[in-house]
A and B are shown apart, each in its own frame.
Chain A
Amino acid sequence: MTVRTSSNEPAAGSPLQSRGWVACWATGGLALAGIGVFVDGYDLSMVREALILGLFAMSLDFLWSRTGILSFGHAAFFGLGGYGQAILGVQFHWTAAQALPVALGVTTLVAALFGYFLFYGKVRGTYFTLMTMALTLVCQQLTISWASVTGGDSGLINVPGLVFGRDWLDFSADTPAFFLVLAIVAATAWVLRELSCSRYGLILQALRDHEVRASALGHNANLYLLSAFVASAFVAGLAGALYVCTAGIVAPDLIGPLFSTEVIVWVALGGMGSLLGPILGAFLVHYAQQHVSSWNPSAWPLFLGCGFLVLVFALPNGIFSLWQRLKAGGAAVAASGRRREGASHE
């Protein structure tokens, strides 16, 4: 099977290589920078929070769209990064700069061990999804019950902000924190796009489309999948650490299965494989969640559950597919959607 290039499938095949992607990246970045200049206080912190969640969504999108492997427990890595940062900061009084490398190191190590045993055990597809879900369940139970360290159900508060030693590296105030987050998100999006378009990304795509054939060409499937998984977990952990540092609190919600599945909704809604779409998805869903939760806190999972069914049955390619469908007529897009589904789950 030849690797599909953008000429074969202009819209859906590889949005990352198109000029439109760079344009979206640049205008999105500039618009957000504009928000950072003109907005402050609570509204700005809301945007910052959504951006960090977008970074998290991007990490899942990279893994899911490049390797075809869906992680149902990505919040475990988000939460490990966040809890690492919070525990070191609150219980051991480390600064954010000291805690960050350790928190990310632990996250990466857990992902590497977990991924090693599963990928090298030839666990793939739905099996892998299940094991990641078990991981996030267990992580949440551990954080809730290990109350002396993690703060239990109520979590930890007063996590040190983003201060990196010097005065000009103090990002703890609202506006500097926002720009730091924006810079990290933009840079990560660029790096992940370069990775996806590089030889490495193409090999991942070949493994996704047909692992046996790609392995027969001499590519070490286990190693490639493991590395993509670890890279994705690293970004998720980074998002978690940033979230906890800027919000100042951490709670068991951030490591549990519900959060793990919310991020899947963001990615699926924003459109898988575009890296930027999931950020938009995170913005939209997070905004909706704030409204629903302020109305009735226990109604949110109900909405989320219905959201999954709508996504699967009505919007298999995200909200952008609505626009495409209007443009191209329903049948053609639906057909290409089925084809893509089939290819990525083969």
Chain B
Amino acid sequence: MTLISVLMLVAVGLAITFGLMGIINLAHGEFVTLGAFALYLSQGWQLPFAAGCLLAAGVGSMVGVILQVAVVRHLDDKPTSMVLATWGVSLVLQQGLELLFGRGGKPVASPLQGTCSLLGVDYPAYRLMLIAVACSTLAGLFGLMRRSRFGLDIRAVIQNRAMAEAMGIDTRRTFNIAFAAGAGLAAFAGALVAPLGTVIAQMGVNYLANSFFVVIVGGVGSIAGVVAGSGFIGGLVSALSSQMPPSLAQALVLICAVVLVRFRPQGLVRA
């Protein structure tokens, strides 16, 4: 459940930007890492946990804006160049963080200790809080997409970019905001997940791979698709990981995703 909710937060940015402009950002995993490092720093400064998470989201969206202005904007009609350039950025960020903070894992303290008893099963309290926060964030996002003017713009651009532009929607602006928001959400997820393990510069890569699976399996550009994809991929990873080594579980998930694509090329949920 924890993995599913984290995946939802990470993948939603990827799915929306992919749906909006057909663009894949390979540096998306690094936003998770940035968020985790931001939380680590904020704990060094004795900030409360919630402030750390907000700081992480802020840092994430700021780096997202910089990436968008410096790199992504110039390449939005060249998907291959985009993949290469964002991969370059991801390598630079990863290695830069490693040079700045050193190689070893950074410990991050959890704000909630102890366990809660839920239906007779003991569950760590922090994980419950994480799931609640992630679900409410996503619900808020869903409301924004359905009810607000901006959400309407986003949905219009995803359905037909040229037509949306003809109707007077500033697609570039829509995309900029969505990109920054997606980056911020990924960083937020990174901060949330940081207390569950150690923070290292390479932690983003695994989230990146799983978010791809989520987007590909779930379908592009809809929150429902992200939820379905995250449920499928995250559930599968958690279920298999308890039975076998995690990397074998990951391999089986890849196989499942590949086979599923063959039979449901549009994803589980159509946009």
Contact = CB atoms under 8 A, between A and B. Distances in A.
A133 B213 CA distance: 11
Contact of A131 (B92, B95, B216): B216
A138 B212 contact: no
Nearest to A261: B87
B24 A126 contact: yes
Interface bin, chain B: 35 or more
Interface in B140-166: none
Interface in B89-127: 89-92, 94-96, 98-99, 103
A324 interface: no
Interface stretch (B35-43, B57-65, B186-194, B250-258): B250-258
B74 A313 contact: yes
Contacts, number: 130
Given A121-B263, A305-B87, 6 more contacts: A137-B205, A138-B250, A145-B247, A307-B88, A309-B71, A344-B80
Interface of B: 22, 24, 26, 71, 74-75, 77-81, 83-85, 87-92, 94-96, 98-99, 103, 205-206, 209, 212-213, 216, 245-248, 250-251, 254, 257-259, 261-263, 265
Contact of A118 (B206, B246, B261): B261
Contacts of A313: 74, 85
Interface string A103-131: 00000000000101110111101110111
Contacts of B205: 137, 257
Interface bin, chain A: 35 or more
A96 B34 CA distance: 46
21 contacts: A120-B262, A123-B261, A126-B22, A126-B24, A130-B216, A131-B212, A133-B209, A134-B212, A138-B250, A138-B251, A141-B247, A142-B248, A145-B248, A146-B248, A298-B103, A304-B88, A308-B91, A309-B92, A312-B84, A313-B85, A342-B77
Interface in A332-346: 341-342, 344-345
Contacts of B84: 264, 268, 308, 311-312
Interface in A123-176: 123, 125-127, 129-131, 133-135, 137-138, 141-142, 144-146
A337 to B, nearest CB: 10
Interface in A34-77: 70, 72
Given A137-B209, A142-B251, A302-B92, A308 B24 contact: no
A319 to B, nearest CB: 16
A138 B253 CA distance: 9
A261 B81 CA distance: 13
Contact of A70 (B74, B80, B90): B80
A307 B85 CA distance: 9
A134 B255 CA distance: 10
Contacts of A127: 216
Nearest to B18: A126
B71 to A, nearest CB: 7
B91 A302 contact: yes
Interface string A287-314: 0000000000011011011111101110
Contacts of A101: none
A15 interface: no
Nearest to B83: A129
A345 B76 CA distance: 12
A130 B254 CA distance: 12
B88 A306 contact: yes
